[in-house]
Amino acid sequence: MGRENRIEKRFVVRGRVQGVGFRWFVQHAAASLGIAGWVRNCGDGSVEIMAAGPAEDISRLRGRLWQGPSYSRIDAVEQSDGEPVAGGDFRIVH
């Protein structure tokens, strides 16, 4: 992946997204798309994602965030510019 094609986005997903396997779902989806970054639970009940990769793949990931795992309920997916992501893997952070 060329640096010129790589973008960074931050997502905050709101709804029933904690305690339903959402972080694992995001990690699996991002890894299957070759996206680098991380996912974590937030104190307000949301889930935050920092993702870096080609714009098309980031768009695909955003679509998957709206799907979520079977027991989740997605009320909102907020998107903003992200920060540079170190490394090439996608991980769950605490």
**Which residues carry out catalysis?**
23, 41
Non-local CB neighbours of 41 within 8 Å, separated by 6+ positions: 18, 23, 47, 94
Per DSSP, the three-state class of 94 is coil
Interaxial angle between packed helices 22-33 and 55-67, expressed in degrees from 0 to 180 and rounded to the nearest 10: 150
In whole angstroms, how far apart are CA 34 and each of 13, 15, 29, 43, 72?
20, 26, 9, 28, 24
